[in-house]
Amino acid sequence: MKINGVIEMLKKKAPKIVQINDILQWYENDELELSPKYQRNSVWNEKAKSYLMDTILRGLPIPPIFMRQSIDVATKKTFREIIDGQQRLRAITEYIDNKYPISKTHNEKYGGMYYKDLNEEIQEQILDYDIFVEIISEKDDAVIYDMFARLNTNNCVLNRQEIRNSKFWGEFKVAAYNTAAEYRELLYENRIFSDKQFSRMDDVELISILMNLFIEGITTDTPTSIDKLYAKYDKNFDEFDEIKCKFDSVMKQVVAIYDYLNGNIRCFSSKVYFYTLFATILHQMYGIDNVKIYRSEMFRSDYIELNKDKLISRIIQFENEYDSCVNQNDEDNDLYAAFLLFAKNHRSRTTNRNERIERIQFFSDYLTGGENGK
């Protein structure tokens, strides 16, 4: 598209907020074309559609719709065609036509319900839901074709977690995303991820890996192995309730640790170190099946609250010694070589099972204060 064409098109773009009921009326009156010739056929599966409707039921925003609008002077009718957003609008119209129910995976309260099963108040809430629409008044098809292509071309290659986000819509994805949202403030305030990493869903991938500690234990994680985890538990993730209960118990201790550190973090300030901290606390509290690392009685789940001060004290001491050995290069420290190896294992082969076990072994031994005879 020429620069002049872009400028002219931008002049003809007008944002507008419409309700779902407006869109339904346009569609029923043949004033809305969902599938212009440059659009794709409907490709969303039922899980994807249900996920969108759950978003609407919760009153959360969805991406804007791009729409070309023109007026037939002879009939004085306004005609609209979708440039971008066909899949979303089809999901909405099909739900209201009772073609699929909300999935129980996405919404326990309304799971299994078709539109007709909802009470009138909830039906009205859906019909009154606001959708942000960018209205384009452009007659030149070539300009619209170019706009559609640009809207559907990513400026950057999707990473694996973003691909999982578009591919999976089942129970494991929902569990991982909801859990990540619950602990996003913790990860943000302690600089575990940057804004860019959050936008690329790195936090969701980490939470997925941490949840797998309860399923498979300490493993070597690869993009393919995480894909398989999502696929295996996409339809059913019956273990989640039990896992979430333990996950939250571990996170309670992790939150207390970061609260005490209050931003003065020398060691546990990246996702790799966060994994080590979480996995070590998890093992001390509940045990990880596929590792043989000593567990202190005082840090087991029944007693850790009583000994939280001791746990935090040992972690503060660990942070100080880490800083002395790794950052200050204190060769006189008896654990100098061990701390350097600990740091090295957080820089290279970070997702490898052997390096993970070495990290957790060293940190666990430090926390338990040599109770195991080491």
Domain regions of the chain by residue span: 3-151, 160-368
pLDDT at position 374 over 90: no
CA distance 169 to 235: 9
C-alpha dist (Å) from residue 20 to 64, 151, 171 = 13, 22, 28
The pLDDT tens digits of the residues spanning 298-311 come to 999 999 999 999 99
Question: pLDDT at position 225, please?
Answer: 96
Mean pLDDT, range 62-67, rounded to an integer: 88
Q: Label residue 8 by pLDDT band (50, 70, 90).
A: low
Q: Label residue 141 by pLDDT band (50, 70, 90).
A: low
Mean pLDDT of the chain: 89
Q: Tell me the whole-structure pTM to 2 decimals.
A: 0.73
Q: What proportion of the chain, given as a percentage, has pLDDT over 70? A: 88
124: which 2 tokens?
């009205």
Instruction: Classify each residue of 108-128 as buried b or exposed e, where b means 16 or more C-beta atoms within 10 Å of its C-beta.
Output: eebeebebeebeeeeeeebee
Question: Of the ranges 14-18, 111-115, 342-346, 349-353, which one carries the lowest mean pLDDT score?
Answer: 14-18
Taking a C-beta distance cutoff of 8 angstroms, is the pair 179, 204 a contact?
no
pLDDT at position 258 over 70: yes
> Residue 81 pairs with which residues in a beta bridge?
33, 68
The pLDDT tens digits of the residues spanning 9-64 come to 545 556 789 999 999 999 999 888 887 654 555 568 898 899 999 999 999 999 88
Question: pLDDT at position 75, please?
Answer: 83
The pLDDT tens digits of the residues spanning 142-152 come to 676 666 666 66
